[in-house]
């Protein structure tokens, strides 16, 4: 059996937002804003076909149009990390089903970047760091304009959410 393997070097644009908002408040706002992909919070197989209505959710007490859904939440920092002074670290997988469906239809390799990941890190003085790697930068190497357009829309939605979450209410 013949196996072919190659490596693509892909420059990734990483967005890093630091906020004085507490880790707990940031995670709570993200959870309340996104909800889950299923009513009972269980991860299930689902299709990405069809348009979804834009639910209106509150972010920092401000109404916001959100098309993103939460897929999974993984606690990356276990108790060992916290024993050594490291803050909490949670990886959130988020998706915009219409965008993901279009991305993989136009460019199957884009499935490696969808759902998108957000890293939420507790930093010193009870601050929080939000880290997001741009999906558009991940698919840019393929030079497919349809995929880039959709990926930029997904990135804009995720970054708008993160900027609203990072901004203190008031």
d(CA 14, CA 87): 20
Q: What is the DSSP letter of 148?
A: H
Is the pLDDT higher at 20 or at 126? 20
Band (pLDDT 50/70/90 cuts) for residue 158 is very high
Check whether 146 has a pLDDT greater than 90. Answer: yes
> Domain spans of the chain?
14-40+52-166
Q: How confident is the model at residue 36 (pLDDT cuts 50, 70, 90)?
A: low
CATH domain 14-40+52-166 topology: TATA-Binding Protein (3.30.310)
pLDDT, one tens digit per residue, over 60-75 is 444 445 589 999 999 9
Find, among 83, 114, 120, the residue nearest to 99 by Cα.
114
């Amino acid at each position: 059996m013949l196996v072919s393997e190659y490596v693509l070097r892909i420059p990734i644009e990483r967005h890093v937002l630091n906020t004085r908002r507490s880790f707990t408040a940031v995670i709570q706002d993200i959870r309340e804003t996104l909800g889950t992909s299923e009513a009972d919070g269980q991860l299930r197989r689902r299709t990405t076909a069809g348009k979804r209505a834009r639910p209106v959710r509150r972010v920092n007490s401000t109404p916001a149009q959100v098309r993103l859904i939460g897929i999974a939440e993984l606690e990356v920092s276990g108790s060992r990390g916290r024993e050594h002074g490291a803050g909490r670290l949670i990886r959130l997988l988020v998706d915009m089903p219409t965008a993901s469906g279009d991305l993989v239809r136009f460019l199957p390799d884009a499935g490696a970047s969808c759902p998108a990941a957000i890293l939420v890190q507790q930093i010193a003085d009870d601050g929080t760091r939000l880290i997001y790697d741009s999906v558009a930068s991940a698919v840019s190497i393929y030079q497919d304009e349809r995929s880039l357009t959709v990926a930029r829309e997904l990135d804009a939605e995720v970054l708008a959410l993160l900027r609203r979450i990072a901004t203190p209410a008031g």
